[in-house]
C-alpha cells in the first residue's frame, strides 16, 4: 500500500464512521489559518498587492527573488513548481530513462520509489539504519553500477528527522561527481534546523546536486502549493527546458501568497517555533516513559516535527496501527509505509493539549497491545 493510498483510506474511514480521532501521523505543523487569513485580507484589499502577478514565465519574480535571498543562491538557480511533489516528478521525468539505475535511501518517503517504478527504472536501496539513520556509505558505494544515474536522499530524513551530517553530504557530492550521477536531496524539512547548524543547500555544492523543497512542511502551507527545484549548470538547463515545455499549472494566486510569506517570514517562523518549543518536550517526556517501560527504542530528534521510534516486540506495525485506530482512535503511520516494519512515524507538531491527549491514548493502546499480543506470545 502506498502512503497516499493509506492516507485516503484513513480519511475515508473517518468520514464513513464519524468518531473522535487523534491524529499523530501529520508530517508538518498545522496550517496557520489565522496568519494566512490576515495575510490574504491585507494583500487583496484595495489596492491588490503587486505580488499578484503571472508565474507562467520563470515563476513569480517576487517569489524567486525571496528564495534567492533565503538560500543565498542566484535567482536563475530556482525553478518554481506546484509543490515539492511536482518538483520530484520534473526531476525524474527530465533526467531518467527506462532502465536507468536509481539508488534510494531506505527507510524512505514512498514517493521516491513509486516515481522510479512509474519510469521503469531499476531500483536499488541505500540503508539508513536505526537508531541514528545516517547513510551507510559503504553500502552505497557497493551498490553503485555503471548504469546508476541518480541517488535520492532526504535532509532532514523522512521519516526519522535525522540530519545528514556535512561530512556525509560532502562525500555524496564527491561520489556524484566521480561516478557521474545526480544527487537529489529532498530538503522539505531542512529549514527546521537553525540556520547556524544547517548544512548548505545541496545544490550549492555541485552541478551534480539538486535540491527540492517547498512551503508545505516548514510552514504547513500545503494549500499554497509552492515548491521549488534548485540546480545549476547543464542540469539546470535540462530541468528548465523540461519544465518550460510541460509545466502549466503553477498558481498565480498561490505563488503570490508564497512571495508574501517568504518576504516577511517572521510571523510564520514564530508560529512554528512556538508550537515546537512547547510540543517537543511533551513528546520527549512520553518517549522516555515508553523506554522505561521497554515499549520503544530510538531517539528523540533534535529538529523537525516527526519521530520514528521502533516498537519493541511488534514487527507488524501495520496491524498494530489498524488495531490502535479501532480501539483507541489514535492514528500513527506504520513503518511499512516507509519500508521499515516495526517502527511508527509520529507527528508531534500540534497544540500541547491535543498532543497530550493523543500521546496519552497512544500510551494506553501500546500497553494494552503488548498485554494482549506481545507478552502472551512470550
Task: Show me where the domains of the chain are located.
Answer: 3-27+268-374, 49-264
CB 95 within 8 A of CB 239: yes
Distance CA 61, CA 52 (A): 10
Which ranges in 229-373 belong to alpha helices (H)?
Answer: 233-246, 252-263, 266-292, 317-328, 352-369
CB 251 within 8 A of CB 225: yes
CB 107 within 8 A of CB 343: yes
CB 361 within 8 A of CB 329: yes
DSSP reduced 3-state for 144: coil
Nearest CA to 356 out of 286, 308, 276 is that of 286
pLDDT, one tens digit for every residue, the chain (378 residues):
788 899 899 888 888 877 788 999 999 999 999 999 999 999 999 999 999 999 988 899 999 999 999 999 999 999 999 999 999 999 999 999 999 999 999 999 999 999 999 999 999 999 999 999 999 999 999 999 999 999 999 999 999 999 999 999 999 999 999 999 999 999 999 999 999 999 999 999 999 999 999 999 999 999 999 999 999 999 999 999 999 998 888 999 999 999 999 999 999 999 999 999 999 999 999 999 999 999 999 999 999 999 999 999 999 999 999 999 999 999 999 999 999 999 999 999 999 999 999 999 999 999 999 998 876 655
Q: Which fold has domain 49-264?
A: 3.40.640
Q: What is the residue-wise DSSP string for 288-313?
A: HHHHHTTSEE----SSSSEE--EETT
Please tell me whether the overall predicted TM-score, pTM, comes out greater than 0.75 for this model: yes
The helix (H) or strand (E) run that includes residue 334 is strand 333-334
Region of residue 59 (phi > 0: left; psi between -120 and 50: alpha; otherwise: beta): left
Distance CA 104, CA 95 (A): 15
For 74-94, letters b (16+ CB in 10 Å) and e give eeebbbbbbbbbbbbbbbbeb
Same fold: 3-27+268-374 with 49-264: no
CB 279 within 8 A of CB 348: yes
For 284-295, letters b (16+ CB in 10 Å) and e give eebbeebeeeeb
CB atoms within 10 A of CB 1: 11
Q: Read off φ and ψ for residue 306, nearest 5 degrees.
A: -130, 155
CATH number of this structure's domain 3-27+268-374: 3.90.1150.10
The helix (H) or strand (E) run that includes residue 204 is none
CB 91 within 8 A of CB 97: no
Amino acid at each position: 500500500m502506498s502512503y497516499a493510498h493509506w492516507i485516503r483510506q484513513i480519511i475515508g474511514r473517518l468520514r464513513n464512521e464519524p468518531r473522535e480521532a487523534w491524529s499523530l501521523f501529520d508530517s508538518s505543523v498545522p496550517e496557520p489559518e489565522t496568519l494566512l487569513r490576515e495575510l490574504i485580507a491585507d494583500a487583496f484589499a484595495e489596492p491588490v498587492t503587486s505580488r499578484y502577478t503571472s508565474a507562467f514565465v520563470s515563476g513569480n519574480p517576487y517569489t524567486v527573488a525571496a528564495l534567492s535571498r533565503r538560500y543565498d543562491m542566484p535567482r536563475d538557480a530556482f525553478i518554481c513548481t506546484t509543490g515539492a511533489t511536482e518538483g520530484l516528478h520534473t526531476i525524474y521525468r527530465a533526467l531518467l530513462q527506462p532502465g536507468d539505475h536509481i539508488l534510494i535511501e531506505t527507510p524512505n518517503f514512498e514517493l521516491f520509489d513509486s516515481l522510479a517504478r512509474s519510469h521503469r527504472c531499476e531500483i536499488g536501496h541505500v540503508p539508513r539504519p536505526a537508531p541514528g539513520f545516517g547513510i551507510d556509505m559503504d553500502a552505497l558505494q557497493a551498490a553503485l553500477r555503471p548504469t546508476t544515474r541518480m541517488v535520492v536522499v532526504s535532509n532532514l530524513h523522512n521519516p526519522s528527522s535525522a540530519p545528514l551530517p556535512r561530512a556525509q553530504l560532502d562525500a555524496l557530492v564527491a561520489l556524484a561527481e566521480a561516478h557521474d550521477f545526480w544527487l537529489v536531496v529532498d530538503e522539505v524539512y531542512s529549514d527546521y534546523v537553525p540556520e547556524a547548524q544547517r548544512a548548505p543547500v545541496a545544490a550549492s555544492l555541485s552541478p551534480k546536486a539538486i535540491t527540492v523543497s517547498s512551503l508545505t512542511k516548514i510552514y504547513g502551507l500545503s494549500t499554497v502549493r509552492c515548491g521549488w527545484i534548485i540546480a545549476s549548470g547543464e542540469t539546470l538547463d535540462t530541468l528548465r527546458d523540461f519544465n518550460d515545455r510541460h509545466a502549466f499549472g503553477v498558481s498565480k494566486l498561490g505563488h503570490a501568497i508564497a512571495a508574501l510569506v517568504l518576504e516577511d517570514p517572521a510571523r510564520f517562523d514564530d508560529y512554528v517555533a512556538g508550537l515546537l518549543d512547547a510540543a517537543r518536550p511533551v513528546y520527549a517526556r512520553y518517549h522516555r516513559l515508553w523506554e522505561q517501560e521497554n515499549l520503544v527504542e530510538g531517539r528523540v530528534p533534535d529538529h523537525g516535527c516527526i519521530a520514528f521510534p521502533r516498537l519493541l516486540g511488534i514487527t507488524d506495525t501495520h496491524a498494530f496501527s489498524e488495531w490502535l485506530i479501532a480501539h483507541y482512535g489514535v492514528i500513527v503511520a506504520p513503518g511499512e509505509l516507509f519500508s521499515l516494519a516495526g517502527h511508527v512515524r509520529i507527528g508531534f507538531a500540534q497544540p500541547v493539549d491535543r498532543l497530550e491527549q493523543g500521546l496519552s491514548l497512544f500510551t494506553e493502546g501500546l500497553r494494552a497491545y503488548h498485554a494482549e499480543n506481545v507478552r502472551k506470545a512470550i
